[in-house]
Amino acid sequence: MHASRRVETIIETRTGGREAVRILLTCLATLVTCTALFEGDAFAQGTGPEIQSETPSESAAPAPPATLLRPYDEYDLDEAARQSRVVRNALIGTSAAFALGVILAGIGGSQCTSFTRSDGTQDLDCNTAGDVLLPLGGTIAGLSAIGVLTTGIMLGVRNKNKRNIEREIRRRYSERRLHFDEKSGGLVF
């Protein structure tokens, strides 16, 4: 038996039927609506923030653009900023992992001693902590170093993309300023 059906059964037996279930569902719907209104996510039909009331005189004449951004320019710029932020966070994370790997390898290395074998080769003699921490720290540091290089390159590419979008918006704005038009032979906006 599902939980909702159990609640219905309890309400029906204690309060006398379907009327109580209807009241409960109405209360739950009201609670959800109040929560959505409290968070600012609910709008009545046709009253969203993007819909503005217009008087008949305003609807007859087209409104001048409030911004020089095309609708998708703002989306592209926001998306480029989001991607740049994600890659920057990845770079910070891989840098922290690299530092952790170096610290672990350093601690593991301090638990080892170097000695010369009878044939003249150098070798390490480590206790249990050194046997575990040295390879673990080295592996984490090595893989994180690859991650740092990769995310560093990716961050440069994402920031370049963001700068290109900003540059195009500025270029479009500069074309709308007062300039000399060769066809008309005068200054135009």
Assess whether 76 and 161 both reside in one domain: yes
Asked if residue 126 lies in contact with residue 112, where contact means CB atoms within 8 angstroms, the answer is yes
113 found inside a domain? yes
**Averaged pLDDT score across all residues of the chain:** 75
Assess whether 100 and 137 both reside in one domain: yes
CA distances 78 to 51, 84, 166, Å, are: 22, 10, 11
The amino acid at 114: S
Domain housing 34: 1-42
Assess whether 166 and 85 both reside in one domain: yes
pTM (2 decimals)?
0.54
Assess whether 82 and 161 both reside in one domain: yes
CB atoms within 10 A of CB 133: 21
181 found inside a domain? no
Model pLDDT for residues 53-110, shown as the tens digit of each residue: 444 444 454 554 555 566 778 888 899 999 999 999 999 999 999 999 999 999 999 9
